[in-house]
Amino acid sequence: MTYIFDLLRGKPEDSDYKKKPVIVQGMTGKFGSEHTKSMIEYGTNIAAGVVPGKGGQKFEGVPIFETVKEAVDATGTKISIMFVPAKFFLGAAKEALEAGIKLLVAIPEHVPVRDTMELLELAKKNDAIIIGPNTPGVIIPELIKIGIMPAIPFKAGNIVVLSKSGTLLYEISDALSEGGFGQAITLGIGGDPINGTRLIDAFDMVKDIPDLVGMVIVGEIGGDAEEVLAQQIIDSNFKKPVVAYIAGRSAPKEKRMGHAGAIVYGNYGSAESKVLMFNKANIPVAKRPIEVPILLAGKLQQSND
Amino acid sequence: MRLLEYQAKELFKEFGIRIPPSLASKDIEQGRKDAKELGFPFVIKIQVPVGGRGKAGGIQKCHNEDEFELKYPQVLGLTIKGEKARAILLEKMAEIKKELYLSLFLNRGKRCYTIIASADGGVEIESDKSQIIREVGLGKVEEDVARDVAKEMKLEGKSADDLVEILQKLSKLTIEKETELVEINPLVILDDDSLMALDGKVITDDNSNFRHEELQKYQEKSEIEERAEKSGFSLVELDGNIAVVGNGAGLVMSTLDMLSDNGGKPACFLDVGGGATPESVYEALTLISKMDKVKGILVNLYGGIVKTTIVASAFVKAYEKNLIDLPVFTRLKGVESDKAKEMLKDTKTKMFDTVEQAINAAVLGIKK
């Protein structure tokens, strides 16, 4: 497992320590341009853009290239964030991995699952990490933001937040920040049925952070990512406080609730099944987002006693 | 997209999976013609996108014209788990020796397709302990894998050969139509040891719809759902009277949960989506105004990609044009929320600092 902090932050001996270059595929589109500005404003080192047909131009002073290969050659980047329509996703994502990208943050929604699965086979071969699709991205607060999240909810600290949902990630991180729990990293895995980085993969990426104080899992109905993670937490004997939240308890069965992945078939994907497994792993599940910092404080208290 | 049984069976037929003779109709006139063509006796099967049809009386044997005249309208008039009949399938009965179960589904945790088979088919697959499970990557089932499954199901001779063939055809269907699930429950062994699909369930990946023009005829959407999709937001109609609007599927689900916990009844789930504009949110409010059951609107926004002012400006316009005259309970936070609050200050929207306060006010303010 690639240590995600090596990619996002680097090591003190790196010449680009704490300013790792990032490229943006689809930099000049409506979302691409808006979020490029917002990431630059946050301090992310946006080194290049890739827009076929616009190579040689600049956006916000950042050079644009025709292909990912050219952008990688010019900047030495290993990270790309994609704003490409779902129909063109697979082609653009493959291009990125073939050009040597090792961390691909895939923002687009509505990507067919077959395309995601095909991409994951290539990612496995190339030892690359895909976050998403349909993800808000990843942020190390006050250091680097690769995603579409607003800056306000996030404060630097020692809590990890992993979430399927974007807005709930903001909401809960906000509540945590207000409650004095800053974040070491927060990562959206995305609301699709197939995730490049599953909850369990994200857990493996962050569980050994040296100063980690606790972890928050923001799940929702659909699939069994939460159950698998709970089992992993039991099996790996992970001792730091973990608190969860599950959205969609009141959703009807067999209806897709906004996210392609948010659908319950029988008991598969139900909130009850997830809560049951979290309880088994001794992980309290908040009924409301606002309860998350309270439960986390409780768990911390317990582990200090 | 979840296909109805008769639609799933049309696909089965296309891929060469054997099904009993059957005909689908939407009214009794067509049904009478179908009955004549098929010949008595047969089974009348309601076509609804939910399970549990048998228990609800949606599957009836029919032996003659008198029974037909009585039972066809009965079955057509049923509502099962809130779903009205979309069609009626008349189907010849088969002489069954044994029921089996077979499916190929998208295993999300493992990120691959998975075969589930069982020699004891029938009603409750989830409770069945003797399942045979095989992971098959992107969905391709090689002959030796299929042969292995047949063997484990203890099938022999003709039955085993048929299973191998059916499983490979299911695999082809899965790959070509981009399904999340193809299920035959039951798959039956007939008197001559051949196999036949008595029921069919197919769920396709909605995100691949753009590659499947040929499946569009199966798309069954209400006018409201269709308009929602066109404008780029998601809307799921529910039974209650408070419309729940927000940005982000997770946040809206969370709001539904909290509203339900406090005794409120959601009328719909409406996620304005990441690409919301004042126009699309105005369209969303137009759709809500068309739902008679809605007595109030609960809005929960965390501004990020979607600035809260985008939503606020749609509300301001909706008030100006008298589109809505419902009580609105709003909680705004995040990007540009101060500006949004200022915009809505002189409207009928009641503003709250926390979602809890907005929910409590909505539950109290909207009586039944």
Contact between residue A169 and residue A163 where contact means Cβ atoms under 8 Å apart: yes
Burial A207-222 (b: 16+ CB within 10 A, else e): eebeebbbbbbbbbbb
Start-to-end CA span in chain A (Å): 34
Residue B12 has phi, psi (to 5 degrees) of -55, -45
pLDDT digits (tens, 9 = 90+) for A5-43: 999 999 999 999 999 999 999 999 999 999 999 999 999
pLDDT in the model for residue B366: 86
What the block records as the tokens of B91 is 């189907």
Structure confidence at residue A2 as a pLDDT band (50, 70, 90) = low
Using the beta-carbon criterion (under 8 Å), do B251 and A165 form an inter-chain contact? Answer: yes
Question: Could you tell me how many residues make up chain B?
Answer: 368
pLDDT digits (tens, 9 = 90+) for B143-156: 999 999 999 999 99
Distance from CA of B273 to the nearest CA of A (A): 8
Structure confidence at residue B368 as a pLDDT band (50, 70, 90) = low
| B208 pLDDT above the threshold of 60 | yes
The whole-chain average pLDDT of chain A stands at 95
- Report the distance separating Cα B186 and Cα B101, nearest Å: 5
Q: Nearest-CA residue of chain B relative to A248?
A: B253
pLDDT in the model for residue B129: 59
Mean pLDDT of the B92-101 span: 93
The whole-chain average pLDDT of chain B stands at 92
Contact between residue B136 and residue B105 where contact means Cβ atoms under 8 Å apart: no
Using the beta-carbon criterion (under 8 Å), do B109 and A225 form an inter-chain contact? Answer: yes
Contact between residue B267 and residue B240 where contact means Cβ atoms under 8 Å apart: yes
pLDDT in the model for residue A62: 98
Q: Which of A20, A78, A259, A299 is catalytic?
A: A259
Contact between residue A105 and residue A81 where contact means Cβ atoms under 8 Å apart: yes
Burial A67-82 (b: 16+ CB within 10 A, else e): ebebbbeebebbbbbb
Region of B178 on the Ramachandran plot (φ > 0 left; ψ -120 to 50 alpha; else beta): left
Structure confidence at residue A243 as a pLDDT band (50, 70, 90) = very high
Distance from CA of A171 to the nearest CA of B (A): 7
pLDDT in the model for residue B126: 55
pLDDT in the model for residue B124: 53
| B83 pLDDT above the threshold of 90 | no
Using the beta-carbon criterion (under 8 Å), do A262 and B246 form an inter-chain contact? Answer: no
Which domains occur in chain B, in start order?
A: 21-92 (3.30.1490.20), 96-209 (3.30.470.20), 223-367 (3.40.50.261)
Pairing of strands A45-50, B195-197: unpaired
Does A110 touch chain B if contact means CB atoms closer than 8 Å? yes
Burial classification of residue B221, based on how many CB atoms lie within 10 Å of its CB (0-12 exposed, 13-18 middle, 19 or more buried): exposed
Predicted structure pTM score: 0.94
pLDDT digits (tens, 9 = 90+) for B162-207: 999 999 999 999 999 999 999 999 999 999 999 999 999 999 999 9
Question: Shortest CB distance from B108 goes to which of A150, A193, A266?
Answer: A193
Least confident of A181-190, A248-257, B19-28, B331-340: B331-340
Using the beta-carbon criterion (under 8 Å), do B251 and A261 form an inter-chain contact? Answer: no
pLDDT in the model for residue B307: 83
Does A58 touch chain B if contact means CB atoms closer than 8 Å? no
Query: How far, in whole angstroms, is CA B295 from its chain's centroid?
Result: 26
pLDDT in the model for residue B7: 97
Using the beta-carbon criterion (under 8 Å), do A113 and B106 form an inter-chain contact? Answer: yes
Structure confidence at residue A1 as a pLDDT band (50, 70, 90) = very low
Structure confidence at residue B325 as a pLDDT band (50, 70, 90) = confident
pLDDT in the model for residue B130: 72
pLDDT in the model for residue B82: 81
Percent of chain B exceeding pLDDT 90 equals 76
Angle between helices A292-304 and A166-178 (to 10 degrees): 50
pLDDT in the model for residue B225: 82
What the block records as the tokens of B57 is 């009386």
Question: Shortest CB distance from B250 goes to which of A87, A164, A225?
Answer: A164
Percent of chain B exceeding pLDDT 70 equals 97
Beta bridge partners of B203: B2, B181
Decide if B183 is catalytic: yes
Contact between residue B218 and residue A213 where contact means Cβ atoms under 8 Å apart: no
- Report the distance separating Cα B47 and Cα B24, nearest Å: 9
Vertex A32: Cα angle to A28 and A36 (nearest 5): 95
| B268 pLDDT above the threshold of 70 | yes
Pairing of strands A144-147, A129-131: unpaired
pLDDT digits (tens, 9 = 90+) for A192-219: 999 999 999 999 999 999 899 999 999 9
**More confidently predicted of B126 and A241:** A241
